[in-house]
Structure 1
Amino acid sequence: MFTVMNRIPVPAAAAAGFEEQFGASMGAHLADVEGLLGARLLRPQGEGAVYVAVMDFVSKDAFSAWMRSASFHDAHSTSSPGMAGDVESFETVVAVGA
Protein backbone atom coordinates (compact mmCIF):
# COMPACT_ATOMS: atom_id res chain seq x y z
CA MET A 1 0.00 0.00 0.00
CA PHE A 2 1.15 3.53 -0.77
CA THR A 3 -0.09 6.37 1.44
CA VAL A 4 -0.02 10.08 0.73
CA MET A 5 -0.60 12.65 3.47
CA ASN A 6 -1.17 16.33 2.85
CA ARG A 7 -0.85 18.61 5.89
CA ILE A 8 -3.03 21.67 5.31
CA PRO A 9 -2.96 24.73 7.57
CA VAL A 10 -6.43 26.28 7.87
CA PRO A 11 -7.26 29.34 9.97
CA ALA A 12 -9.81 28.50 12.68
CA ALA A 13 -12.29 31.00 11.24
CA ALA A 14 -12.22 29.18 7.88
CA ALA A 15 -12.41 25.61 9.23
CA ALA A 16 -16.12 24.93 8.65
CA GLY A 17 -16.02 26.21 5.08
CA PHE A 18 -12.82 24.31 4.37
CA GLU A 19 -14.29 21.04 5.64
CA GLU A 20 -17.42 21.49 3.54
CA GLN A 21 -15.50 22.42 0.38
CA PHE A 22 -12.82 19.74 0.81
CA GLY A 23 -15.39 17.04 1.60
CA ALA A 24 -17.48 17.95 -1.45
CA SER A 25 -14.39 17.86 -3.64
CA MET A 26 -13.40 14.45 -2.29
CA GLY A 27 -16.88 13.08 -3.01
CA ALA A 28 -16.95 14.53 -6.50
CA HIS A 29 -13.45 13.61 -7.64
CA LEU A 30 -12.38 10.45 -5.83
CA ALA A 31 -15.29 8.03 -6.23
CA ASP A 32 -13.93 6.28 -9.34
CA VAL A 33 -10.16 6.65 -8.96
CA GLU A 34 -8.56 3.38 -9.97
CA GLY A 35 -6.26 1.98 -7.30
CA LEU A 36 -7.57 4.25 -4.52
CA LEU A 37 -8.28 2.23 -1.39
CA GLY A 38 -9.65 5.12 0.66
CA ALA A 39 -9.34 8.80 1.51
CA ARG A 40 -9.88 10.66 4.78
CA LEU A 41 -9.75 14.24 6.02
CA LEU A 42 -8.56 14.44 9.62
CA ARG A 43 -9.57 17.41 11.78
CA PRO A 44 -6.80 18.71 14.08
CA GLN A 45 -7.37 18.44 17.81
CA GLY A 46 -4.57 20.66 19.10
CA GLU A 47 -4.30 24.41 18.99
CA GLY A 48 -2.30 25.49 15.96
CA ALA A 49 -2.41 21.98 14.47
CA VAL A 50 -3.14 21.36 10.79
CA TYR A 51 -5.69 19.28 8.90
CA VAL A 52 -4.36 16.10 7.34
CA ALA A 53 -5.76 14.58 4.14
CA VAL A 54 -4.82 10.89 3.87
CA MET A 55 -5.14 8.81 0.70
CA ASP A 56 -4.27 5.12 0.45
CA PHE A 57 -3.47 3.60 -2.94
CA VAL A 58 -2.70 0.02 -3.93
CA SER A 59 0.71 1.17 -5.19
CA LYS A 60 2.90 4.15 -5.99
CA ASP A 61 2.10 3.57 -9.66
CA ALA A 62 -1.63 3.94 -8.93
CA PHE A 63 -0.95 7.21 -7.12
CA SER A 64 1.22 8.46 -10.00
CA ALA A 65 -1.51 7.58 -12.50
CA TRP A 66 -4.04 9.56 -10.46
CA MET A 67 -1.69 12.56 -10.39
CA ARG A 68 -1.69 12.53 -14.21
CA SER A 69 -5.47 12.11 -14.47
CA ALA A 70 -8.21 14.58 -15.31
CA SER A 71 -9.73 13.76 -11.91
CA PHE A 72 -6.62 15.07 -10.13
CA HIS A 73 -6.47 18.23 -12.22
CA ASP A 74 -10.19 18.90 -11.78
CA ALA A 75 -9.94 18.41 -8.00
CA HIS A 76 -7.05 20.86 -7.72
CA SER A 77 -8.17 23.50 -10.21
CA THR A 78 -10.13 25.38 -7.54
CA SER A 79 -7.69 25.06 -4.64
CA SER A 80 -7.37 28.20 -2.59
CA PRO A 81 -3.95 29.88 -2.55
CA GLY A 82 -2.05 28.97 0.59
CA MET A 83 -4.05 25.77 1.13
CA ALA A 84 -1.64 23.47 -0.71
CA GLY A 85 0.06 22.29 2.47
CA ASP A 86 2.95 19.86 2.75
CA VAL A 87 2.69 16.51 0.98
CA GLU A 88 4.38 13.39 2.35
CA SER A 89 4.31 9.87 0.94
CA PHE A 90 4.83 6.50 2.60
CA GLU A 91 5.02 2.83 1.71
CA THR A 92 3.33 0.47 4.16
CA VAL A 93 5.78 -1.75 5.99
CA VAL A 94 3.48 -3.29 8.61
CA ALA A 95 -0.31 -3.25 8.83
CA VAL A 96 -2.61 -4.77 11.46
CA GLY A 97 -6.39 -4.99 11.07
CA ALA A 98 -8.60 -3.57 8.38
Structure 2
Amino acid sequence: MNRLRLLSAAALLAAATSVSATSFVYTTDATVGALKGTSDVTSDITSSFSDDKVVRAAREDAASFVASAGEIRGAQLEAALKHIRGKLPQLAASDMQLAQAILTL
Protein backbone atom coordinates (compact mmCIF):
# COMPACT_ATOMS: atom_id res chain seq x y z
CA MET A 1 0.00 0.00 0.00
CA ASN A 2 2.85 2.38 0.80
CA ARG A 3 4.31 1.83 -2.66
CA LEU A 4 0.95 2.69 -4.28
CA ARG A 5 0.78 5.98 -2.38
CA LEU A 6 4.33 6.83 -3.42
CA LEU A 7 3.58 6.12 -7.09
CA SER A 8 0.35 8.13 -6.89
CA ALA A 9 2.17 11.09 -5.33
CA ALA A 10 4.85 10.93 -8.02
CA ALA A 11 2.22 10.83 -10.77
CA LEU A 12 0.37 13.82 -9.28
CA LEU A 13 3.62 15.76 -8.95
CA ALA A 14 4.53 15.04 -12.56
CA ALA A 15 1.07 16.14 -13.75
CA ALA A 16 1.18 19.34 -11.68
CA THR A 17 4.63 20.21 -13.00
CA SER A 18 3.45 19.68 -16.57
CA VAL A 19 0.39 21.90 -16.05
CA SER A 20 2.48 24.65 -14.45
CA ALA A 21 4.99 24.58 -17.29
CA THR A 22 2.22 24.71 -19.90
CA SER A 23 0.54 27.60 -18.09
CA PHE A 24 3.85 29.46 -17.96
CA VAL A 25 4.37 28.96 -21.69
CA TYR A 26 0.88 30.27 -22.54
CA THR A 27 1.28 33.26 -20.23
CA THR A 28 4.70 34.07 -21.66
CA ASP A 29 3.43 33.76 -25.24
CA ALA A 30 0.50 36.08 -24.51
CA THR A 31 2.74 38.67 -22.85
CA VAL A 32 5.30 38.59 -25.65
CA GLY A 33 2.55 38.86 -28.24
CA ALA A 34 1.07 41.93 -26.54
CA LEU A 35 4.47 43.58 -26.25
CA LYS A 36 5.23 42.87 -29.89
CA GLY A 37 1.94 44.48 -30.91
CA THR A 38 2.72 47.58 -28.88
CA SER A 39 6.25 47.65 -30.26
CA ASP A 40 4.96 47.42 -33.85
CA VAL A 41 2.54 50.30 -33.26
CA THR A 42 5.27 52.39 -31.66
CA SER A 43 7.59 51.71 -34.58
CA ASP A 44 4.94 52.67 -37.14
CA ILE A 45 4.05 55.88 -35.31
CA THR A 46 7.60 57.03 -34.60
CA SER A 47 8.74 56.46 -38.17
CA SER A 48 5.72 58.23 -39.66
CA PHE A 49 4.99 61.06 -37.22
CA SER A 50 8.22 62.01 -35.46
CA ASP A 51 8.14 65.52 -36.96
CA ASP A 52 4.36 65.93 -37.19
CA LYS A 53 3.20 69.07 -35.32
CA VAL A 54 -0.28 67.73 -34.53
CA VAL A 55 1.09 64.56 -32.97
CA ARG A 56 3.92 66.30 -31.09
CA ALA A 57 1.46 68.81 -29.63
CA ALA A 58 -0.50 65.93 -28.11
CA ARG A 59 2.33 64.61 -25.91
CA GLU A 60 1.06 66.22 -22.72
CA ASP A 61 -2.50 65.00 -23.34
CA ALA A 62 -1.12 61.54 -24.16
CA ALA A 63 0.75 61.49 -20.85
CA SER A 64 -2.44 62.38 -18.96
CA PHE A 65 -4.37 59.73 -20.89
CA VAL A 66 -1.85 57.00 -20.10
CA ALA A 67 -1.44 58.04 -16.46
CA SER A 68 -5.19 58.06 -15.89
CA ALA A 69 -5.69 54.69 -17.62
CA GLY A 70 -7.74 56.33 -20.34
CA GLU A 71 -9.95 58.50 -18.14
CA ILE A 72 -8.54 61.88 -19.24
CA ARG A 73 -8.92 62.59 -22.96
CA GLY A 74 -7.59 65.97 -24.02
CA ALA A 75 -8.55 67.80 -27.20
CA GLN A 76 -5.03 67.67 -28.61
CA LEU A 77 -4.86 63.91 -28.08
CA GLU A 78 -8.21 63.45 -29.80
CA ALA A 79 -6.97 65.50 -32.76
CA ALA A 80 -3.75 63.48 -32.92
CA LEU A 81 -5.59 60.14 -32.79
CA LYS A 82 -7.89 61.25 -35.60
CA HIS A 83 -4.89 62.53 -37.59
CA ILE A 84 -2.93 59.28 -37.14
CA ARG A 85 -5.87 57.09 -38.09
CA GLY A 86 -6.49 59.25 -41.15
CA LYS A 87 -2.88 58.88 -42.30
CA LEU A 88 -2.56 55.17 -41.41
CA PRO A 89 -6.02 53.61 -41.84
CA GLN A 90 -4.54 50.09 -41.88
CA LEU A 91 -3.11 50.56 -38.38
CA ALA A 92 -5.03 48.42 -35.89
CA ALA A 93 -4.15 50.00 -32.56
CA SER A 94 -6.06 51.01 -29.48
CA ASP A 95 -6.14 54.57 -28.21
CA MET A 96 -3.87 53.50 -25.34
CA GLN A 97 -1.30 52.03 -27.72
CA LEU A 98 -1.32 55.18 -29.82
CA ALA A 99 -0.99 57.42 -26.75
CA GLN A 100 1.97 55.35 -25.54
CA ALA A 101 3.54 55.61 -28.99
CA ILE A 102 3.07 59.39 -28.98
CA LEU A 103 4.97 59.51 -25.69
CA THR A 104 8.00 57.87 -27.32
CA LEU A 105 8.38 60.68 -29.86
TM-score by length of 2: 0.34
**RCO greater where, 1 or 2, for CA within 8 Å and sep 6 or more?**
1
TM-score, scaled to structure 1: 0.35
Structure holding more helix per residue: 2
